[in-house]
A = this chain, B = another copy of it.
């Protein structure tokens, strides 16, 4: 396919699966169960951006601020330094404030995007937007506005989502997966009495991508995407079987 500009994720194995990284300016959905590494991967993506001169914005609805900085430190990342250098902005806010901020060019978030020249954004997590409305149709519309706003700014965006389950479409309230450009799933996979983590790229508009399901590890320094699983059936169900 055409050679679109790429934004490397900071995870070599994942960039390889993506044939070079996210497509710059695209919107990526990262869906996973708790503890599968969504936030870590999000921070890593911003760290990589800072390294490459692409300032980042991290919008968090849930994290106790201290925890986010401490967990980053555990990986050797000093977010405060990046913030002081103008290469990152971390915003703790509410879903309501985020949505109205993006519509107002004078809001602190809009200012940050403009002043820093934000090129990458992480939203942790989209699931919190469900507090804005209980109506799935209205929710889908809110998601749409947000995604289109990010596309208009040309910001490569990573949307974290807690929705997860064996049937990833059914658990996707608001149908985010249909609206975004790229979908990545993180899953727990029980193999040999051990809880492994798995990553799969399911959808990538405008690009080829690796279709295999690979091991994912969280180590000091962040996420590692490793070799594909071998000899199992039903990996994405979470309880695979040895292939006959």
Contacts and interface: CB of A to CB of B under 8 A. Distances in A.
A188 interface: yes
A208 interface: yes
A208 B202 contact: no
Contact of A35 (B130, B188, B190, B203): B203
B170 A74 contact: no
B244 A240 contact: no
A33 to B, nearest CB: 5
Contacts of A243: 192, 242
A101 interface: no
A234 B203 CA distance: 22
Interface residues of A, number: 81
Given A205-B71, A239-B233, A178 B166 contact: no
Given A74-B207, A213-B193, A183 B64 contact: no
A21 to B, nearest CB: 15
B190 A234 contact: yes
Interface string A183-210: 1000010101111100010111111100
B235 A190 contact: yes
A185 B131 CA distance: 27
Interface string A47-70: 000000000000000101011001
A177 interface: yes
Interface stretch (A7-15, A102-110, A224-232): A224-232
A83 interface: no
Among all A-B residue pairs, the 10 with the closest Cβ atoms:
A35-B203, A34-B177, A74-B206, A234-B239, A242-B244, A1-B220, A193-B229, A1-B74, A2-B74, A71-B206
Interface of A: 1-2, 4, 33-36, 62, 64, 66-67, 70-71, 73-76, 125, 127, 130-131, 134, 137, 140-141, 144, 147-148, 151, 162, 164-167, 169-171, 175, 177-179, 181, 183, 188, 190, 192-196, 200, 202-208, 211-213, 218-220, 228-244
